[in-house]
Amino acid sequence: MPTDPAFSKELAAAPRLRIPNHLGVIMDGNGRWATARGKKRTEGHLAGVRALRGLVELCINYGVPNLTVFSFSSENWSRPAEEVSFIFSLLRRFVASDLQSLIRNNVHVRVIGSREGLDPSLVRLIRDAEQKTAANTGLNLIVAFNYGSKAELTEATRAVARAVARGELDPESITEETIAASLYTTGLPDPDLIVRTSGEQRISNFLLWQAAYAELVFVDEYWPDFNEATFLRVLETYALRDRRFGGIEARIT
């Protein structure tokens, strides 16, 4: 996706845009995008990877520090086996073909989700991408793959319970920080803004704990059609939101 960095920086500086510290994206609608064009669903997933490359570039150019993308949910296993294996092969291809450019662009990659049941070679590939980009200080790209928030909270609960059973943790001393530190997202700021494409208005088990105060923006475009214009529209919508976090509007004191 062509983005003119000078033009983008100028736009980002304009008051009508607000840049979130952490943007979460539910990349939905690949299948419908393909069907609407008489193509196979798998082609929609392929087009979805192109849109993801565009989003990464936009986040770099506009200075979004943290980006989490939902690429495969723990519930997506219920799809036909062929589609599931195509999505898995896409992740492999994305890492293989894009790792060098991510390194060049100073992107730090982290993959969140369960690694259980994943092919060991895929787990190695993920680890390799994380290690090779670990020292990068630019965009934090978090890929939610084989991710489900309820599974994440269940696993976190088990970890906390184990620490209690071992006598290392007093139940009374469990705080919100204890839970947050037991999630895959430990160390990351909570998302400020979550965008979902394709017109669906639900969270589908994405970052339930972390999104407690996220602004939600739903756009009608299918994920493969997401582009700079959509991105800017979303940031403009976000700029108009009044985030109160349970308090009162800042100017009514």
Contact residues for Mg ion, defined by CB under 5 A: 28
Q: Closest Cα to residue 216, out of 72, 24, 18, 15?
A: 24
Q: Is 82 annotated as a binding residue?
A: no
Q: Is 115 annotated as a binding residue?
A: no
Q: Both tokens of residue 90? A: 């896409």
Q: Is 33 annotated as a binding residue?
A: yes
Cβ atoms within 10 A of the Cβ of 59, count? 24
162, 202, 233, 241: which one binds ligand IPE (CB under 6 A): 202
Distance of CA 102 to the CA centre of its chain: 16
Mode of pairing for the β-strands spanning 215-218 and 140-147: unpaired
Contacts of 132 (CB under 8 A, 6+ apart): 99, 103
Smallest distance from the beta carbon of 48 to ligand IPE, in angstroms?
6
51, 87, 112, 156: which one binds ligand IPE (CB under 6 A): 87
Q: Is 101 annotated as a binding residue?
A: no
> Cβ distance 206 to 216 under 8 Å?
no
Q: What are phi and psi of 73, to 5 degrees?
A: -95, 160
Nearer to Mg ion, 28 or 152 (CB): 28
98 annotated active-site:
no
200, 221, 225, 236: which one binds ligand IPE (CB under 6 A): 200
Handedness of CA 97, 41, 199, 110 (dihedral sign): negative
**Per rule CB under 6 A, is residue 28 in the interface with ligand IPE?**
yes
28 annotated active-site:
yes
8, 42, 71, 74: which one binds ligand IPE (CB under 6 A): 71
**Per rule CB under 6 A, is residue 198 in the interface with ligand IPE?**
yes
Q: Closest Cα to residue 144, out of 32, 22, 33, 24?
A: 24
Calpha distance 218→177 (Å, rounded): 29
Binding-site residues for substrate:
29-33, 41, 45, 73-75, 77, 79, 196, 202-204
Binding-site residues:
28-33, 41, 45, 73-75, 77, 79, 196, 202-204, 215
Write out the residues near ligand IPE by the rule CB under 6 A.
Answer: 26-32, 70-73, 76, 87, 198, 200, 202, 204, 223
